[in-house]
Amino acid sequence: MSKRKGKDAHLPVGECITLVQQILRERLCHQQLPDKPDGIEAQHKHLLELLKRTAVHGESNSVLIVGPRGAGKTMLLKCVLRDLLEEKEAQKNLLQVHLNGLLQTDDRIALKEITRQLHLENVVGDKVFGSFAENLAFLLEALKKGDRSSSRPVLFVLDEFDLFAHHKNQTLLYNLFDVSQSAQAPIAVVGVTCRLDVLELLEKRVKSRFSHRQIHLLSNLTFTEYLERVQTQLCLPDDFPDSKFAQDWNDSIQTLCEDKSVEEVLQRHFNSSKDFRSMHMLLMLCLSRVSVAKPAIKPADLLEASRLCFADAKANMLHGLSILELCLIIAMKHLNDVYEGEPFNLQMVHNEFKKFLQRKSNSMYNFDQPVIMKVCINMKPLSKFFLPFNSFPATRFLESNTLYCFRCSSAMIGRITVNIYIFCMKTDKFNIFPSKPITYTSCFSSPSGLRAPAAAGADPTG
């Protein structure tokens, strides 16, 4: 033991880094349940007690876990189940049925899934036989036969609970809640949802049968708690083989969290969202920058990661455009401003482009219409994002490739509405244009004036 310890104490840095990556990744990618649910101990206790009573005393219950996405609903449930199954009495008895509203899109599928997971008698192999009505009758009969003290308790977990409320007549929910409110086989219904108004989705008789227990997972963290959370998420556990490395790592994390710029970045993240998932995303990006050469997370890493996280996706797309494409988009934008959102066709875009060239003819070659057409086709994938086509089928666009279609298709293309926002354009994109960046900016001047704070200084004549 001591020998091993002595050997382990001096792991090469490479191995240490691999271990760190492995441990932290498991933690950040939700592959490993935390030992203790932080910040939601009360909810954890409530749910655990509730399920324990079902498992041990055979008391039927129903409960909803409500919280925004990324608030740790599933984590809570999993933790509770893990703790529950540690108890032998519960482990031996409890039957579990897991359903997901996204998978079991109607009651028929849900019933089959329940029957399959319960291994009821009409299951052969992996298949469930019988019609929908028979399945329902069968399941209800099965549940009815049981009673509180003798049959095994069944735990129903309904993920995306709100989607079950959209099923026809809410038959499944009614029956589950009805069983939970009558002296039949003991069941616990646990719904997991992110909709706060989920109770309003339930029909009144379904609602009446629901016990109205809700466990809200609304984190009211303060920023200091958030900071602490970041630190604990990044810290290495005590049982890390190389204790010296762990010590160093933890110290570096400590200093990282005390850094002013890091705090600012985290504050910004905290302001935009408090959930764990976005935080984990940020930390994950930091973590991936750790290497043998740089065996610690530096504030710069965090800043870079945050920049990546906050990068505007739409503005990003403009980065890769060629000059001609950009010119065309600018032309479209201009048209859009001039005609106040009216649709236009490719011919108009081309004319606009030519007008543009006439004014600043030295900067660019006058392309022919086919080239423009081709460019437009190439931009099509982009257009999905910032050029919404209203009721314009994608296939027609490709037809315009052919010579004959070109003329008429130019009319068809007309139904393009361009929405380019100034925020995208005012990025550093224009530094790429070596010649006359100001010329291009000038065409952004818009009647509203509101949209072009960056172009405010430019002349509005363009």
Partner 1 sequence: RMKYFTRLRVRRVYKWRGEPLSFNRKLKTCEYSSLSISVEGLPRTTVISTGQHILIEGEDEDNPYVARVIRLFESGKQKKAVVQWFVRVSEVPPSKLKLLGREPHPQEIFYYQGRSCDDEVNAESILRPVQVIVAAAFPDSDDKDTLYVKLSWDSKTFRVVDSASAEPAPASSPPPPPASRGPSRRALPTPDPAILRKASSGEAESLHSATKLSASKCLSAKRRNASARTPGVRKKLELSSPEKMTREDILSQLLDQELESDVALAQRLSSSPPRALPLTHSLTPLRKGSVCLKPSTVLLNKLSPSETESRDESSRSESTLTQGEVSFSRLVLFVLRVTTPSRKKESKTLREPALGVLAEVDNESSPMLPAAATPRSSKRKSAQLVSSRIRKQLNLLESRQDLDSDREDEDEFVPSKKELQSSSEEEEEEAEAGLDSDDEVVMKKSRHAAAGSRTPRSKQKSRSSTRTPRKTPNKKVAPGTPRTPRHATPSIPSRSLPARQPANVLEEARTRLHVSSVPESLPCREQEFQDIYSFVESKIIDGTGGCMYISGVPGTGKTATVHEVMRCLQHAADVDEIPPFHFIEINGMKMTDPHQAYVQILQKLTGQKATADHAAALLEKRFSNAAPRKESTVLLVDELDLLWTRKQNVMYNLFDWPTRRHARLVVLTIANTMDLPERIMINRVASRLGLTRMSFQPYSFKQLQQIITSRLNKVKAFEEDALQLVSRKVAALSGDARRCLDICRRATEICEHSSADPSATGLVGMSHVMEALNEMFSSAYVTAIKSSSSSGAVIAEFRRLGLEEVFVQHQALCRVEGLQPISVSEGLAVCQRLGACRLLLLEPSRLGVLQRIRLNVSQDDVLYALKAD
194 binds partner 1 (CB under 8 A): yes
Type of residue at 207: K
Q: Which two tokens stand for residue 167?
A: 């099923």
Between residues 145 and 355, which has the closer beta carbon with respect to partner 1? 145
370 touches partner 1 (CB under 8 A): no
Query: Interface residues for partner 1 in 393-432 (CB under 8 A)?
Result: 419, 421, 423
Q: Which residue, 36 or 145, has its beta carbon nearer to partner 1?
A: 145
Among 152, 289, 360, 415, binds partner 1 (CB under 8 A): 152
Is 167:106 a contact under the CB 8 Å cutoff? Answer: yes
Which of 45, 82, 355, 436 contacts partner 1 by CB under 8 A?
45
How far is the C-alpha of 173 from the C-alpha of 179, rounded, in Å?
10
Report the nearest approach of partner 1 to the CB of residue 267 (Å): 9
Choose which of 9, 311, 371, 438 interacts with partner 1 (CB under 8 A): 311
**Interacting stretch for partner 1, rule CB under 8 A, among 73-81, 180-188, 243-251, 371-379?**
180-188
User: Would you count residue 260 as binding partner 1 (CB under 8 A)?
Assistant: no
* Cα-based angle 58, 46, 101 (whole degrees, multiple of 5): 75
Q: Which is nearer to partner 1, 392 or 421 (CB)?
A: 421
List the one residue from 171, 383, 400, 409 that touches partner 1 (CB under 8 A).
171
Is residue 386 within the footprint of partner 1 (CB under 8 A)? yes
Binding status of residue 380 toward partner 1 by CB under 8 A: no
Query: Is residue 66 a contact point for partner 1 (CB under 8 A)?
Result: yes
With CB under 8 A as the contact rule, the residue among 25, 78, 116, 148 that binds partner 1 is 148
- By beta-carbon proximity to partner 1, the closer residue of 19 and 120 is 120
Supply the minimum distance, in Å, between the C-beta of residue 180 and partner 1: 8
Q: Which helix (H) or strand (E) holds 102?
A: none
Q: Is 376 helix (H, G, I), strand (E, B) or coil?
A: helix
- Tokens for 10, please give them: 């001096």
Nearest approach, Cβ of 50 to partner 1 (angstroms)? Answer: 8
- 155 near partner 1 (CB under 8 A): no
Chain positions 207 to 246 lying near partner 1, rule: CB under 8 A, are: 207-209, 211-214, 216, 218-220
Please list every residue from 274 through 303 that binds partner 1, using CB under 8 A.
Answer: 274-275
Does 7 engage in binding with partner 1 (CB under 8 A)? no
By the 8 A CB rule, do 63 and 215 touch?
Answer: yes
What residue type is assigned to position 68 of the chain? P
CA terminus-to-terminus distance, the chain? 79
Question: Angle 17-20-21 (CA atoms, 0-180°, nearest 5)?
Answer: 85
| Alpha-carbon gap, residue 447 to 333, rounded angstroms | 12
Residue type at 47? L
Among positions 102-141, residues that touch partner 1 (CB under 8 A) are 107-108, 118, 120-122, 124-125, 129-134, 136-141
Residue from the set 8, 312, 342, 459 that interacts with partner 1 by CB under 8 A: 312
**Binder among 43, 60, 410, 445 for partner 1 (CB under 8 A):** 60
Q: For residue 461, which phi and psi values (nearest 5 degrees)?
A: -70, -35
Q: Which one, 19 or 281, has the nearer CB to partner 1? A: 281
- In the complex, the smallest distance separating the C-beta of residue 362 from partner 1, rounded to whole angstroms, is 35
CB of 341 to partner 1, least distance (A): 10
Judged by CB under 8 A, does residue 342 bind partner 1? no
Minimum gap (Å) between residue 56 Cβ and partner 1: 5
Q: Min. distance of Cβ 122 from partner 1 in angstroms?
A: 5
Cβ partners under 8 Å of residue 366, min gap 6: 354, 357
Where does this chain touch partner 1 (CB under 8 A) — which range of 173-181, 233-241, 332-340, 366-374? 173-181
Return the range that interacts with partner 1 (CB under 8 A); candidates 265-273, 362-370, 371-379, 403-411.
265-273
Give 360-369 contacts, CB < 8 A, sequence gap 24+.
Answer: 360/436, 360/439, 363/435, 363/436, 363/439, 364/323, 364/324, 364/327, 367/324, 369/406, 369/410
CA distances from 143 to 153, 175, 193 (A): 10, 10, 25
Ordered alpha helix ranges (H), 190-322:
198-201, 204-209, 223-234, 243-258, 260-272, 276-287, 299-310, 313-318
DSSP H or E segment with residue 456:
none
- 59 CB-near residues (< 8 Å, 6+ apart): 53, 148, 186
| Residue whose CB is less far from partner 1, 218 or 408 | 218
Q: 78 to 97, contacts with partner 1 by CB under 8 A?
A: 89, 92-93, 95
DSSP assignment string, 394-444:
HHHHHHTTSHHHHHHHHHHHTBB-----HHHHTSGGGGS--S-HHHHHHTT
Minimum distance from residue 178 beta carbon to partner 1 (Å): 7
Q: Count residues binding partner 1 (CB under 8 A).
A: 95
